Homo-oligomer: A and B are copies of this chain.
């Protein structure tokens, strides 16, 4: 169920490399990596968790409400994260040349299914 949703997001995004459903501590619930891709998406999740915690703290301090989406573009990898619930996050890794807007759209599209499956 989770894997199918992640696969749809990754394969549906030009340049999509891997997808991850993780908890707030960065522990992988499910992941999907496109065939032939060389990425350890679980490690990406672990590294992201510290970032997400800092963002949660910052948004609380600034009283800007809950975090919905985070996008990080580095030279070699773009990472999109979307809060599924308060406890779970879905992440998409794509190449820097990948379709950023389509990735955001695919994550939004997947959210209700992921929420339903987590409940």
- A contact residues vs B (CB 8 Å cutoff): 43-44, 47-48, 50-51, 54-55, 57-59, 61-77, 101
Shortest beta-carbon distance from A20 to chain B in Å: 13
User: A-B pairs with the 10 shortest C-beta distances?
Assistant: A65-B75, A47-B58, A64-B77, A64-B74, A71-B71, A69-B73, A65-B76, A59-B74, A64-B76, A51-B54
Secondary structure call for the A interface: mixed
A75 contacts which of B68, B73, B75 (Cβ < 8 Å)?
Answer: B68
Shortest beta-carbon distance from A90 to chain B in Å: 14
Contact between A62 and B44 (Cβ–Cβ < 8 Å)? Answer: yes
Shortest beta-carbon distance from A98 to chain B in Å: 13
